[in-house]
Amino acid sequence: MDKGFCAFIDNLRILHVLGNGKFSFTYELIGFRCNKVDKIFIKTGSRHSSFVDFLVFFQNKEPTIKDTPIYAIEETKSDDSESRNTGVYQRCSKFVFLHYYYPNVKMVMLYNLQIEQKKKPTDTNIFGTRLLLTLGVEILGKKLDPEIFTPFSLIKEIIDFKKTNI
């Protein structure tokens, strides 16, 4: 975590929190100790648009619409070998949409890969990953060749790559 806190993690468990004896769509994460963090709650929301999977807030109260998260995380288990589009390309629009609401949030693309990563990336993977990097998205859980995966610096580069590779 960017806050520089130390935590001791045991057997992590997610427990449902009931409100007035009813499901509240809120969960508590237990199994960790940290002097700076008392409790961690996970709250699910409905999805009516293309939006990232997780918004992470660091505050004492439940977030309101006016609060800004410290992280916006999109997570996938897909790799280039399974699906060229869902592994990277469609994720870009989620971060563009997010930027409208939270222009200063740290954006993270988390690859929770269950299979071996493809040796040679497809042009679609390269293009989508470079778009993510251009947007300032940090990519975790995936090996990126720094010779191939660099942000675009000009719109003309994006157009030329698209014309010649995809």
Domain limits, the chain: 1-44, 49-165
- How high is the pLDDT of residue 102? 92
Tell whether the model's pLDDT for residue 103 goes beyond 60: yes
Residue 149 — very low, low, confident or very high, per pLDDT cuts 50/70/90? very high
86 or 30: which leads in pLDDT: 30
Tell whether the model's pLDDT for residue 160 goes beyond 90: yes
Sign of CA pseudo-dihedral 54, 58, 59, 65: negative
Beta strands in the chain (DSSP E): 8-19, 22-33, 40-43, 54-56, 71-76, 106-111, 138-140
DSSP 87: I
